[in-house]
């Protein structure tokens, strides 16, 4: 845990709900950014000391991360950052294709076409500049903004809850893919096409293109998976 900033949540109830969610999100961040890599042991006592909370609170946090598919707990061995298999990730991509396609269709149907213009603009020169500069963190921030806007516009909380863990389980792999290949350039063109369809109000085309984009991401993972897992 050395070198990591600790979460600080002010308030009289150190182990209340706000503290719990802050801990979940901080460990979530460390896992998806590989500060805690797959296979890393999550020692309750060490985590409790680092964050200044009880082991019982840490156990609750680990249970929440286990529900997201990020942590695996084994009897008599403790908790570890989960290491998904290639086959599991391929199954996740299959689900993402269907659900994100639905998200694009619903978002296009629910929101006015002109409401997407700012994202069309963002994924023009500004995001292209991030790709050319190799700024993967900035590129991922823009993708997260697009994803959140689409889910918010879709207006289906069940869909949002289903997609959250699926994003988490593939985020680490896709981040590494962007860092080590030219996938970002290809994906940028794909996201532009999706946004242009949404800007036209063409829900059917937006869904088709979004599904193709996830299929393309899956193909890229399959090509490079020996270097990613």
Which of 81, 98, 118 is the endpoint of a domain? 81
Going by pLDDT thresholds of 50, 70 and 90, the confidence category of residue 3 is very low
Query: Is the pTM of the predicted complex or chain greater than 0.85?
Result: no
214 and 175: one domain? yes
Q: What is the CATH number of the domain that holds 68?
A: 1.10.10.10
203 and 131: one domain? yes
**146 domain residue, yes or no:** yes
Half-sphere exposure of 108 (CA within 13 A, CB side): 23
DSSP assignments along 141-207, one per residue: HHHHHHHHHHHHHHT-HHHHHHHHHHHHHHHHHHHHHHHHSSHHHHHHHHHHHHHHHHHHT-HHHHH
pLDDT at 1 over 50: no
Over range 186-214, report the average pLDDT: 98
Work out whether strand 71-74 and strand 41-42 pair parallel, antiparallel, or are unpaired. unpaired
**7 domain residue, yes or no:** no
Half-sphere exposure of 198 (CA within 13 A, CB side): 32
User: Range of 179's domain?
Assistant: 86-228
pLDDT in tens, 6-51: 343 333 344 567 888 899 999 998 988 878 888 999 999 999 999 9
**pLDDT for residue 10:** 37
d(CA 14, CA 127): 40
Which of 58, 81, 104 is the endpoint of a domain? 81
Number of independent structural domains in the chain:
2
Which of 45, 65, 81 is the endpoint of a domain? 81
pLDDT in tens, 49-84: 999 999 999 999 999 999 888 999 988 888 999 888
Going by pLDDT thresholds of 50, 70 and 90, the confidence category of residue 172 is confident
Higher per-residue confidence, 38 vs 130? 130
d(CA 31, CA 25): 10
**pLDDT for residue 183:** 93
DSSP assignments along 69-123, one per residue: TSEEEETTTEEEE----HHHHHHHHHHHHHHHHHHHHHHHHHS-GGGGHHHHHHT
**6 domain residue, yes or no:** no
**10 domain residue, yes or no:** no
152 and 194: one domain? yes
């Amino acid at each position: 845990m050395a070198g990591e900033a600790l979460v600080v949540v002010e308030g009289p109830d150190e182990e209340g709900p706000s503290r719990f969610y802050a801990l979940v999100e901080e460990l979530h961040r460390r896992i998806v950014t590989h500060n805690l890599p797959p296979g890393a042991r999550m020692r309750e006592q060490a985590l409790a000391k680092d964050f200044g909370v009880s082991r019982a609170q840490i156990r609750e946090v680990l249970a929440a991360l286990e529900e997201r598919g990020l942590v695996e707990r084994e009897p008599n061995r403790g908790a570890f950052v989960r290491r998904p298999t290639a086959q599991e990730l391929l199954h996740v991509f299959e689900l993402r294709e269907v659900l994100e396609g639905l998200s694009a269709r619903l978002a296009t149907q629910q929101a006015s076409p002109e409401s997407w213009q700012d994202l069309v603009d963002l994924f023009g020169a500004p995001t292209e500049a991030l790709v050319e500069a190799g700024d993967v963190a900035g590129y991922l921030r823009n993708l997260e903004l697009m994803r959140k806007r689409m889910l918010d516009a879709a207006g289906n909380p069940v869909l949002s809850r289903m997609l959250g863990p699926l994003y988490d389980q593939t985020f680490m792999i896709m981040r590494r893919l962007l860092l080590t290949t030219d996938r970002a350039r290809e994906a940028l063109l794909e996201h532009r096409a999706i946004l242009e369809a949404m800007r036209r109000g063409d829900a059917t085309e937006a869904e088709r293109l979004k599904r193709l984009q996830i299929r393309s991401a899956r193909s890229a993972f399959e090509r490079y998976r020996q270097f990613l897992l």
